[in-house]
A and B are shown apart, each in its own frame.
Chain A
Amino acid sequence: MWLQAICIYTVFIIIGCGIPTAAEEHSLWRWTCENNRCTKIRNEPENKEPVLSLEACKMFCDDYGLLWPKPTIETNLGNFLSKINMNTIDIQITKQGKSDDLLTAAADRFKTLVSSSVPKGFSAKAAGKSVTVYLVNDNPYIREFSLDMDESYELYISSTSSDKVNATIRGNSFFGVRHGLETLSQLIVYDDIRNNLLIVRDVTIKDRPVYPYRGILLDTARNFYSIESIKRTIDAMAAVKLNTFHWHITDSQSFPLVLQKRPNLSKLGAYSPTKVYTKQDIREVVAYGLERGVRVLPEFDAPAHVGEGWQDTGLTVCFKAEPWTKFCVEPPCGQLNPTKEELYDYLEDIYVEMAEAFESTDMFHMGGDEVSERCWNSSEEIQNFMIQNRWNLDKSSFLKLWNYFQKNAQDRAYKAFGKRLPLILWTSTLTDYTHVEKFLDKDEYIIQVWTTGADPQIQGLLQKGYRLIMSNYDALYFDCGFGAWVGSGNNWCSPYIGWQKVYGNSPAVMALSYRDQILGGEVALWSEQSDPATLDGRLWPRAAAFAERMWAEPSTAWQDAEHRMLHVRERLVRMGIQAESLEPEWCYQNQGLCYG
């Protein structure tokens, strides 16, 4: 603690010639770091010391400053802030390779981020030191996502002369260097007392994520989202170093994906001819994601969760069956008929076009969510098929049928993507750990867990060697806590999940000794009660809380992260994300006083 105390008393701001400006004289408040908290106090006229703005104070009042997510290996922020001139930021890319265009795009984004650190209604003076950023990418040829890609980076800042600040970011891939730029952008703050941009002057940061898969799922089938709102989401994800946008693009309610070979699926299945995603739209999103280090992962959920779009194919059963409660979990029902040979040609066409559109993905999500035995059992054709195969009509036989579907679909997926890429399935009766190995190979399939974090399935699957992605609904389903849209009361997974719970949701605690098999986690926004109007507020800033858990798996609880969390929310708002407010602004200005 004594070290901290020394730091507190040596915080300085290099403010050029040191003469207080008119604005400074009028500043009614100033902040001072006491006991690891920034305290708001009156700026008395007789005060002669340099006055700290809120953000400048926060930068040194905590080991991790205003960084989010916090770096994992080494963080040293020094004691000094230097005034910089935003217009003189120069970015040098030192090693050449085929990911140069991505680095250039990341550099442009960095400049945009720096300019958005100036709050609305303020402007930064074009005076101060010039900044040169050197980007050193030791593997400039890598531009492909993979589960073992190297996202680590090192960041150094120093001032070489009185008018110059140098920053160097070194990484083993574009993805790491890009993260370094995000971190660098968080080390630049706006001083609203003097209207200057400030940078932390003497920095050493070494950083890498704990989990390789850090995602957000968006369901664009229950309600439609514009491409613009999806891009906005990816922008926010990049800011907190999330790396996977899981696109749950179709469901029973609508089929907005336009396919050239099977145009009827979206023609009959989209909510309207304008509420569709063309191959070009998706490629635009994929390219946007790549520049931001975010893979865009397609899901084609099957054999359940289908319906609209398939009307004329004759390949579904129990579509819109009533009463729906008997055949599915929400209206409308619908399931693919696995006994139809033609179905697999359809699936192959869908997969092929998905592979073309989602060109950068290294994985494929095959869904497998909530298959209803009763739905399949309602079809005479399926019953006959099962009898011909000498199967009963009991539960285990329907698992065989499901497995029959999955095996066929898997072959077509490998064919369509041209490689045996990792496949992902939701937890279900098929993935039950007591028999999962009979159906799914642990080296081929990754299981995404959506049941609670206390579900014994987690340990069961880990013991059998399966790799998991955690989306336990009790902490990571962001649609929970609103009124029910079918039936009365509140929705099934109520109550609402506060950011504190999201932050505390630790896969390491669930995995115990099998932590290496946890690839990461994913928050899910199912969209029955959400659309572009509610998107930002549902996801943000809660997804940022998740991002720090995934990146750093901190041993500390939310209390230690709270003031940085409030800042990342402000940052997202400045970026144009309509993130919800977690607390009165008073708590942001009066650190540590809004305790429970």
Chain B
Amino acid sequence: MMSWGDALWLGLTARFARVGRLRRAVLMLAAAACTAAAVLYWKQQTDDSANRPLHSMYSGIEPQWSWLCQHDRCERYQASDTTTLQSLQTCNMLCASTQLWPQPTGPVSLASAAVPVRSDRFSLKVIASPSRDVTKHLNEAFIVMQNHMRTLEHGVVGENRRSDIGPPRDVLVKVSVNGSGDPRMRLDTNESYKLALRPSGNSLVVDITAHSFCGARHGLETLLQVTWLDPYAGSLLILEAATVVDAPRFPYRGLLLDTARNFFPVSELLRTIDAMAANKLNTFHWHVSDSQSFPWKLDSAPQLAQHGAYGPGAVYTSDDVRTIVKYARIRGIRVLMEIDTPAHVGRAFGWGPEAGLGHLAHCIEAEPWSSYCGEPPCGQLNPRNPHIYDLLEHVYREIIQLTGVDDIFHLGGDEVSEQCWAKHFNDTDPMDLWMEFTRQAMHVLERANGGKAPELTLLWSSRLTRSPYLERLDPKRFGVHVWGASQWPESRAVLDAGFRSVISHVDAWYLDCGFGSWRDSSDGHCGPYRSWQQVYEHRPWATETPESAAWPVEGGAACQWTEQLGPGGLDARVWPRTAALAERLWADRAEGATADVYLRLDTQRARLVARGVRAAPLWPRWCSHNPHACL
């Protein structure tokens, strides 16, 4: 039997324990390579008598349960029936499976012993940094990590710290970044990192090495995951030793949030971004406007929000955008702002005639809507009005300036209605108008981006990205954000044709599905609900076809459209399902939602809750208390 009491006192050296079952072989090799492994092997102590639980030393409410690690499982006991007192959190961290999320992709070894620490005893030393900017970001990211630790410590009520766990250790975090001097998350950013945590005298030393700020930040996130609050000890604990070698499988790992169908205050966006960082996601796809509303007040075109926002309380200023971008950047996340055109626009573009610019858009709120768009209200830009391209250039320039993202751009291009344009331009095939619009939008985008096209310009999958129109798009310039169902032939065709793609298949990664229709009493257009297991198990690139091996998949994104969601429900709708996606895109384990995944996700959900995210529970708390009993 192993308790944390044993671990704290007797774990002089770390027994390097194994992690996920699959990696056993890999780790055996790693262990063999490490000649010290044999020396470090530490025989488990079983002498319980020396470590009687000191219930009386615990000054809070007397713990009710104790979890003991038996056969690689945490079993729950009445505290009064056991001789050791161990919290669920600590048992989970020390017993069998690694509790990291997303699961690292390289070799991992984690000690099965823990030592007490305190947030203010962590210090950062930047050993190597390619630029002052990276150093500055490292310092800020370190403070973010420390603040999260401090939040955990707030969970300790009063002076409940157990006196027998020893003094908190100092932790020196040494970070070396050898590589890019640009702290931004970019398409070519190397996000890999190595983390080595080891005891050194009475303190701990952590070495994080990476090739970018973003990689080093991921290392800090992992360090945060091996630190937890033990409510019985009344202290933060950290694994005494750990090595992690890690890198993501896909470079683009995103979450889309639609702030147009319903408005979300800045605080909600920030909390969402922080939760993304906890899962090593790297792209906040901000679908900022749509036909229902245009909440962003641009400096260069304030008319859009004036005419398009729901009201004065539902507006994002440029300062708001800057706040969000800065917050995200310290967390290794790019903010990809999408102003969807030429469809999905509305009253925000209705002021052209009065400003002497002619009609900037057609079909605004046209009826019957089902003739001119996919959902009310309708609206589509006027591709023949040259002023629209000037306006878009302003919009694009401001997006690039504010977000600092100039290597990826999202043009939108979702659900263009041919009928709408056909009604106004009976001399031209609407598909030709659409193609021409896209070309011109690309042209002004280049101008807005200093004369250079972004490396990857995304379009939503649509009729334009289907044959015979797909052939008219240049795969070197355009990428496709595939939202169609995974089984639709056109969803595969873009990949077969070599277009770099971001995947958001509606049948797996649309988080808005399954809440009935908002326009009638049917079950809605894309039900049923996608469970976290479905999100997790979706691996469209792992099909049997020979072509799929060569698919240029950049990654994927979960989509939270918000026709039926307001601020209050955001967290529970998005989390923990998006965490499931995060591991799919980071680690892409061949396995589905196995028992190990349930338990680790449950732990990750608890981490999110501790961070202030109101994530939905996976199951009754009883199942968390009795790991494996509900599996």
Chain A 570-589 residues near chain B, CB threshold 8 A: 573, 577-587, 589
A584 close to B261 (CB less than 8 A): yes
A537 close to B521 (CB less than 8 A): no
A498 close to B521 (CB less than 8 A): yes
A573 close to B568 (CB less than 8 A): yes
Which residues of chain B are near A593, meaning CB under 8 Å?
365, 367, 369, 376-377
A172 to B65, CA, bound (A): 52
Chain B, Cβ-Cβ closest to A577: B568
B313 close to A120 (CB less than 8 A): yes
Which residues of chain A are near B369, meaning CB under 8 Å?
593
B629 close to A481 (CB less than 8 A): no
A586 to B293, CA, bound (A): 7
A504 close to B621 (CB less than 8 A): no
Taken residue by residue from 520 to 554, chain B's Cβ proximity to chain A (1 for < 8 Å, 0 otherwise) reads as 11111001111111100000000000000000000
A553 to B562, CA, bound (A): 31
Chain B 56-115 residues near chain A, CB threshold 8 A: 61-65, 78
B422 interfacial by beta-carbon distance below 8 Å: no
Chain A, Cβ-Cβ closest to B258: A584
Which residues of chain A are near B314, meaning CB under 8 Å?
585
B515 close to A496 (CB less than 8 A): yes
A500 close to B516 (CB less than 8 A): yes
B622 close to A253 (CB less than 8 A): yes
B614 close to A533 (CB less than 8 A): yes
A18 interfacial by beta-carbon distance below 8 Å: no
Taken residue by residue from 12 to 54, chain B's Cβ proximity to chain A (1 for < 8 Å, 0 otherwise) reads as 0000000000000000000000000000000000000000000
Chain B, Cβ-Cβ closest to A251: B620
A504 to B520, CA, bound (A): 12
How close is A569's CB to chain B, nearest CB, in angstroms?
9
Chain A 430-448 residues near chain B, CB threshold 8 A: none
B497 interfacial by beta-carbon distance below 8 Å: no
B565 interfacial by beta-carbon distance below 8 Å: yes
Max chain B Cβ within 10 angstroms of own Cβ: one of A119, A120, A531: A531
Report the interface size for chain B: residues with CB under 8 A from the other chain. 71
A332 interfacial by beta-carbon distance below 8 Å: yes
Taken residue by residue from 569 to 607, chain B's Cβ proximity to chain A (1 for < 8 Å, 0 otherwise) reads as 101100000000000000000000100000000000000
A22 interfacial by beta-carbon distance below 8 Å: no
Chain B 315-357 residues near chain A, CB threshold 8 A: 346
Q: Which stretch from A238-246, A286-294, A483-491, A516-524 is at the chain B interface?
A: A483-491
A537 close to B569 (CB less than 8 A): yes
A273 close to B531 (CB less than 8 A): no
A580 close to B609 (CB less than 8 A): no
A490 close to B529 (CB less than 8 A): yes
Chain A 276-326 residues near chain B, CB threshold 8 A: 308, 311, 320
A17 to B415, CA, bound (A): 51
A575 to B593, CA, bound (A): 40
A585 close to B293 (CB less than 8 A): yes
How close is A194's CB to chain B, nearest CB, in angstroms?
14
Which residues of chain A are near B139, meaning CB under 8 Å?
none
A529 to B78, CA, bound (A): 25
A501 to B625, CA, bound (A): 36
A593 to B569, CA, bound (A): 25
A495 interfacial by beta-carbon distance below 8 Å: yes
A577 to B619, CA, bound (A): 23
A585 close to B62 (CB less than 8 A): no
A486 close to B630 (CB less than 8 A): yes
A360 interfacial by beta-carbon distance below 8 Å: no
Given the contacts A121-B313, A253-B622, A501-B516, A490 and B566 also touching, CB distance less than 8 Å: no
Given the contacts A494-B529, A531-B617, A558 and B521 also touching, CB distance less than 8 Å: yes
Q: Which stretch from A2-10, A108-116, A263-271 is at the chain B interface?
A: A263-271
A192 to B260, CA, bound (A): 21
A69 to B534, CA, bound (A): 39
How close is B445's CB to chain A, nearest CB, in angstroms?
28
How close is A503's CB to chain B, nearest CB, in angstroms?
9
Give the size category of A's interface with B. Answer: 35 or more
Which residues of chain A are near B458, meaning CB under 8 Å?
none
Given the contacts A498-B515, A500-B521, A271 and B292 also touching, CB distance less than 8 Å: no
Chain B 365-386 residues near chain A, CB threshold 8 A: 365, 367, 369, 376-377
Chain B, Cβ-Cβ closest to A489: B531
B518 interfacial by beta-carbon distance below 8 Å: yes
Chain B, Cβ-Cβ closest to A54: B311
Given the contacts A320-B629, A585-B310, A594-B376, A496 and B531 also touching, CB distance less than 8 Å: no
Complex partner residue of A490 from B62, B312, B528, CB under 8 angstroms: B528
Which residues of chain B are near A486, meaning CB under 8 Å?
619, 630
Given the contacts A253-B620, A536-B568, A573-B568, A594 and B529 also touching, CB distance less than 8 Å: no
B377 close to A586 (CB less than 8 A): yes
Given the contacts A273-B62, A534-B572, A528 and B620 also touching, CB distance less than 8 Å: yes
Chain A, Cβ-Cβ closest to B61: A273
How close is A402's CB to chain B, nearest CB, in angstroms?
25
Which residues of chain A are near B293, meaning CB under 8 Å?
584-586
How close is B614's CB to chain A, nearest CB, in angstroms?
4
B572 close to A271 (CB less than 8 A): no
B616 interfacial by beta-carbon distance below 8 Å: yes
B564 close to A581 (CB less than 8 A): yes
Chain B, Cβ-Cβ closest to A270: B64
B621 close to A585 (CB less than 8 A): no
How close is B530's CB to chain A, nearest CB, in angstroms?
8
B190 interfacial by beta-carbon distance below 8 Å: no
B64 close to A584 (CB less than 8 A): no
A253 close to B621 (CB less than 8 A): yes
A585 close to B515 (CB less than 8 A): no
B178 interfacial by beta-carbon distance below 8 Å: no
Complex partner residue of B516 from A483, A496, A528, A586, CB under 8 angstroms: A496
B520 close to A596 (CB less than 8 A): yes
Chain B 492-531 residues near chain A, CB threshold 8 A: 514-524, 527-531
How close is B524's CB to chain A, nearest CB, in angstroms?
8
B618 interfacial by beta-carbon distance below 8 Å: yes
A254 interfacial by beta-carbon distance below 8 Å: yes
B61 close to A274 (CB less than 8 A): yes
How close is A553's CB to chain B, nearest CB, in angstroms?
18
Complex partner residue of B622 from A222, A533, A578, CB under 8 angstroms: A222
Which residues of chain A are near B609, meaning CB under 8 Å?
533
B566 close to A267 (CB less than 8 A): no
A536 to B78, CA, bound (A): 33
Max chain A Cβ within 10 angstroms of own Cβ: one of B78, B260, B519: B519
A497 close to B64 (CB less than 8 A): no
A257 to B343, CA, bound (A): 56
A584 to B566, CA, bound (A): 9
A496 close to B527 (CB less than 8 A): yes
A482 to B623, CA, bound (A): 17
Chain A 469-519 residues near chain B, CB threshold 8 A: 481-486, 488-490, 494-501, 504
Given the contacts A253-B620, A320-B629, A530-B617, A582 and B518 also touching, CB distance less than 8 Å: yes
B568 close to A537 (CB less than 8 A): yes
B629 close to A332 (CB less than 8 A): yes
How close is A542's CB to chain B, nearest CB, in angstroms?
10
Given the contacts A481-B514, A482-B531, A581 and B565 also touching, CB distance less than 8 Å: yes
B615 interfacial by beta-carbon distance below 8 Å: yes
A222 to B446, CA, bound (A): 56
Which residues of chain B are near A252, meaning CB under 8 Å?
622
A183 interfacial by beta-carbon distance below 8 Å: no
Which residues of chain A are near B518, meaning CB under 8 Å?
582-584, 587, 594
Q: A331-B623, A483-B530, A580-B564 are in contact. List 10 more A-B contacts (CB 8 A).
A: A192-B311, A270-B64, A271-B622, A311-B78, A496-B528, A558-B521, A581-B566, A586-B293, A586-B376, A590-B376
A residues with a Cβ closer than 8 A to B are 28, 119-121, 192, 222-224, 252-254, 267-268, 270-274, 308, 311, 320, 331-332, 481-486, 488-490, 494-501, 504, 527-531, 533-534, 536-537, 558, 573, 577-587, 589-590, 593-596
Closest 3 CB pairs of A and B: A483-B531, A498-B516, A578-B568
A-B contacts, 13 listed (Cβ < 8 Å): A121-B313, A222-B620, A273-B62, A489-B531, A495-B527, A496-B528, A501-B516, A531-B616, A533-B616, A537-B569, A573-B568, A580-B566, A593-B365
